[in-house]
Amino acid sequence: MVDTLSAWIAIGMLTVVVFASRYLGYAIGNHVPARGRLRRLLNVLPGCAIAAVVAPQIAHAGPFQIAVLAVAGIALWLTGQVAVGLLLGLGLLVGGAHLGF
């Protein structure tokens, strides 16, 4: 399990990167061509930030955490709602922590 400080640092970094990329989108969006490499890069930047924070945690996850990730991913895929996948995954992880998983 991840210690609390590392989790808060990861959440903070993720928040800063996502909001910074969104702000830059507004600030320079009119100056970026509608097509091209830079436009594609700006479109995928938030997803890349999330992957960079989450990937190391997945590499150190146990079987229970991997199963929860799969369940949350399937819920996200079926519903198309990020909040559903997030709340389901967090609920399962918190419940599993209380049960000793």
Cα dihedral 58, 60, 66, 68 in deg (nearest 10): -80
Element (H, E) at 71: helix 63-79
pTM: 0.54
Per-residue pLDDT tens digits for 26-81: 787 778 777 888 778 777 777 777 788 788 888 899 999 999 999 999 999 999 99
* In the chain, where the domains are located: 1-60, 61-101
Longest CA–CA span in the chain (Å) reads 53
Contacts of 62 (CB under 8 A, 6+ apart): 101
DSSP letter assigned to residue 61 = -
Determine contact, residues 50/73, Cβ cutoff 8 Å: no
